[in-house]
Structure formats: C-alpha cells, structure tokens
Amino acid sequence: MENQNQESTPTQPNQRLGSPSQELHSTSSNEQSQKRNSSESPQHESHVSAQSPKRSRNGSFPPPLFPQEIIFEILSNLPVKSLLRFRCVSKSWKSLIADNIFIKKHLKRTQNDPEFSKKRVLINIADIAPRTQPGSTIKSCSLTLKSIFEDPNVNTTEIEYPSKNESHSDWIVGSCNGLVCITIRENTVLLLNPTLRVSKRLPDIGFKKRRGYTVYGFGFDASVDDYKVVGVFSYPSIVKVYSLRTNCWRRIQDFPFEVFSNEAGKHVDGTLNWAVFSGQDGDFSIVSLDLAQETYKEVTQPCFADGVDERTLGVLDGYLCVLCSYRKLYAEVWVMKEYGKRESWTKLVSIPYLPYERSEMFLTPVSVSKSGEILLRYGVNILLYNPKKNMFRIPMFPYDVISYISQAEVYEESLVSPTAVNQHR
C-alpha cells in the first residue's frame, strides 16, 4: 500500500489542470494521503512534499519561502536600480525596500564597498560651443568610478533635474549619502538623488539681491538624523541653515572670515569646511562649522614645506584633504586621517607637474583606487596619476558631451530620498 501511494503522488499536479471541482477533490485526496503517510513513515512525508510542490492555477510553482532576515541580507547587497524593479514583486518587498532601517543598511554597505561598484562621479561640464544666448552652459553627467580606473573610454549619462536651463550656470555644492545639492544662479537650491531621479526644491533663502555673492555647503547632522544646507552671504557675512526635517531656513551666527567666491563647504564628520582668507595678509586658512553645535573653529593645517604657492581644499574618500602646489614643480596631497587632530595629517602622494611650458594647475583630488592610483582635476580636465609607475593617463570622454570640466564630485547610489520626510526623523 505504501508503494502505491508513492507512485500515485507525482500525478497529482496534472489532475489539478481540470475543472475547479476536480482540483478541490484532488487536493483533498492528496491531504488525506499525506496524513496517512505521516502516521506510517515520517521520512516518507518529507520525500513526498519535496517531489510534489503545489502549483498555482496557471501551472507555475510559487517562489520559495525564505526567512525575512535572509531576504533582508540579499536585497541590501543589490544595486538601487535592481531594488527599484523588485518593489513590484510583492507588497512585503515594497514595504521592506522603503523601510528606513533597510535604507540605512543598504547605504552603509554601499559606502564600505571597496570595489566602487555603487559609487559614481558627478561632473559639471561647460559647453563652449557658440550659442544664441550669452554665457556658458553647465551640464551634469555621471560616470562609474570603477570604469575610470580600468577603462580609458568613459561613458557618461546626463543627469536631469527641475529648473535645468542651458542659459543657467549650475553649481554642485556637494554630496552626502547619495543626495546631491545643486544651486542654480546662487538663489535656487535643489536636493537631488540622481539614482532615484527624485528632487526637492528648497524654499527661497531670503537673501536680498545686493552686492556680493553666496556660497553653500551641504552635509548630514547625525545628532538629529537630518540633512542641512548652509548658505553664507558675503558683505556682510550672513549665514543661514536649512533643515530638511523642518523645511525652512533660519539665521545663525555670522561667518567669521571671508570665503572664496567659488568655494563650497566640504562635508566631513558632521562639519562643513571652507578655505578662507584670514589675517592682514589674506593667508590661506581652513574654517569649519559644526552642524550640530553651530559653532566655528579653525582647522590646523599640515606642515607644508617652504615654497607653497597654491592650495586647494577637498574631500578624498571621506577625509579632509589639501592639495598644495610648489611653483608648478610638484604638488602634494595631504589627508587628515582623524578629523580635528593635527598629528593625523598624512602626506598621501607627491605628483610631478607635466613638463609643459603652459601646463595647467593641479586642482582638487577626486578619488583614489585600491592600488593607489589617484583621480584629480587638472585645469579644465580630469586625469589619473599612478605613483608606482610615475605615469599619467587621461580618461577619454565623448566629445559631443563634454567640452571642459568645471567640477567633479563623488557620490554613492542610495535609496535616500529628499522628499521622504519620515527617513529623517
């Protein structure tokens, strides 16, 4: 009798293709058969269920059931674009992918990825082609960070966002946790997630049009889980802070120094850092604003050698960095391994200048690969320097897209949305 049950069981799925009454009868018979076999042989029960998965009415088998913890771990390792597609798998998956805990877990894994597989470079480019309207046009394009180090031919994708206009000069303020802050003609500020293609236009900052300029900084205040934009207006130096949680600007203590007109605040460990003029001689200094305490302090600089004539401030893989040039003979890149500690300044690399009479200036470093190859701006272009081989390489961009590069900013793909208020509480 037991062998007969084993032979008849595989035919059950075929019987379910008949009428609904046949399907119900077949299912009921199968349940009785399994109960009888369960009392006779526990091992036989597992054997039957393994060979007899229930099919749906369209003949397909249901997906396997995994514990929620395993699904969480698998999905948190996937790219954002895949997760956006997988939201339609089920209501539970859609709810999980939108959950704040999942978003933070996914972001942390992206930031700790040593292969740069989910990091990209956002660049501003100026088109010098003749136009009917005066002025240059700045476009935003993205390209995979990994491809720059491995492939000389770089593919670019233009980033779309509201208020984009060919006659405007847009500026990248900075990036943080997958969000990018962009200003349009200084007075319009956007928060954008290029991967999600979601943006938010901030309220007007309220600076009356007068003589002077406005510089910005963008960062994250972990003490209140909030993203903040800081606007500094020159002459006089009025400072306002925007909070994504409250969606409004408020004035704080005035900025103590004069900031450079094209200098955006560099975000490191909950602070925004600006290169400023200080002292009677207008020396180069670094001033930081603590986003939680809303206090200013001067950041100590590395021990440069004599002969420094140009310095630029940047962020390299999460560390505050300074590139200093020595009369166009060579440049040094210094990084602050522990923010706020002068002794943690470390010289990362020395870069010789190209032996050209009209060689460009080395500007802000952008990123460094696992092998030590450094990506940096060089005048109006981007190049790679390999310190082990002492060789330069220029990534090739499509000529119909890029004329020259005015900015380069690294950002990571994330699920953080500037419009999802519940993510920031």
pLDDT at 281: 62
Residues 202 and 320 in one domain: yes
Q: What is the mean pLDDT of the chain?
A: 79
Q: Angle at the Cα of 164 (from 260 to 227), degrees rounded to 5?
A: 60
Q: How far is the C-alpha of 237 from the C-alpha of 212, rounded, in Å?
A: 10
Q: How far is the C-alpha of 193 from the C-alpha of 413, rounded, in Å?
A: 8
Residues 94 and 210 in one domain: no
Residues 74 and 203 in one domain: no
Residues 294 and 192 in one domain: yes
Tell me which of 52 and 205 has the higher pLDDT.
Answer: 205
Residues 231 and 308 in one domain: yes
Percent of the chain scoring above 70 in pLDDT: 74
In a domain, residue 422? The reply is no
Q: How far is the C-alpha of 260 from the C-alpha of 403, rounded, in Å?
A: 25
Looking at residues 313-317, what average pLDDT do you find? 93
Residues 119 and 195 in one domain: yes
Residues 93 and 221 in one domain: no
The count of structural domains within the chain is 2
**Residues belonging to the chain:** 425
Tell me which of 399 and 64 has the higher pLDDT.
Answer: 64
In a domain, residue 53? The reply is no
In a domain, residue 229? The reply is yes
Residues 193 and 87 in one domain: no
Q: How far is the C-alpha of 323 from the C-alpha of 333, rounded, in Å?
A: 5
- pLDDT tens profile 64-83: 677 888 999 999 999 999 99
Give the neighbor-by-neighbor strand order of the sheet with 238-243.
214-221, 226-233, 238-243, 248-252
- pLDDT tens profile 366-397: 988 888 889 998 887 888 899 999 999 888 76
Q: Angle at the Cα of 105 (from 146 to 216), degrees rounded to 5?
A: 70
CATH number at 406 reads 2.120.10.80
In a domain, residue 231? The reply is yes
Reading the block at residue 313, the tokens are 């401030």
Tell me which of 70 and 363 has the higher pLDDT.
Answer: 70
Is residue 52 very low, low, confident or very high in pLDDT (cuts 50, 70, 90)? low
Residues 73 and 215 in one domain: no
pLDDT at 215: 92
Residues 78 and 153 in one domain: no
In a domain, residue 12? The reply is no
Whole-model pTM? Answer: 0.79
Least confident of 40-49, 54-63, 288-297: 40-49
Percent of the chain scoring above 90 in pLDDT: 42
Looking at residues 351-372, what average pLDDT do you find? 81
Q: How far is the C-alpha of 353 from the C-alpha of 344, rounded, in Å?
A: 26
Range of the domain at 282: 111-412
Mode of pairing for the β-strands spanning 283-290 and 271-278: antiparallel
Reading the block at residue 226, the tokens are 């909030």
In a domain, residue 17? The reply is no
Q: Angle at the Cα of 337 (from 332 to 339), degrees rounded to 5?
A: 110
Tell me which of 8 and 60 has the higher pLDDT.
Answer: 60
In a domain, residue 56? The reply is no
In a domain, residue 169? The reply is yes
Residues 282 and 333 in one domain: yes
Residues 254 and 399 in one domain: yes
Q: Residue 6: pLDDT above 70?
A: no
